[in-house]
Amino acid sequence: MPPECALRVGNETRAWREGELVIFDDTMEHEAWNRSAEVRVVLLFDIWRPELTDAERSLVAAMLESIDGFGGPRREWTQ
């Protein structure tokens, strides 16, 4: 992992560490950066919050698809 790569979620900032898993709630304000001149590769997974009902997941998926419609499709949202 190149130096000067980090992730901020809320008020907490952490440097990326190679081979280490990071899970966070992306409904909180967050940002990630790579201030080095090197390539940084991150594998992302979207994970449904386990307490959401099927109906709530459908509503969230519909909302995200609508948001994506403004800027063109980015990815498939599945339940």
pLDDT in tens, the chain (79 residues): 888 999 999 999 999 888 899 999 888 999 999 999 999 888 888 888 899 999 999 998 898 888 888 765 555 655 5
Q: Which pLDDT score is estimated for 10?
A: 95
**In the Cβ-directed half-sphere of 42, how many Cα atoms lie within 13 Å?**
18
pTM more than 0.85: no
What is d(CA 11, CA 43) in angstroms, rounded to the nearest whole number? 23
Element (H, E) at 64: helix 54-71
Element (H, E) at 52: none
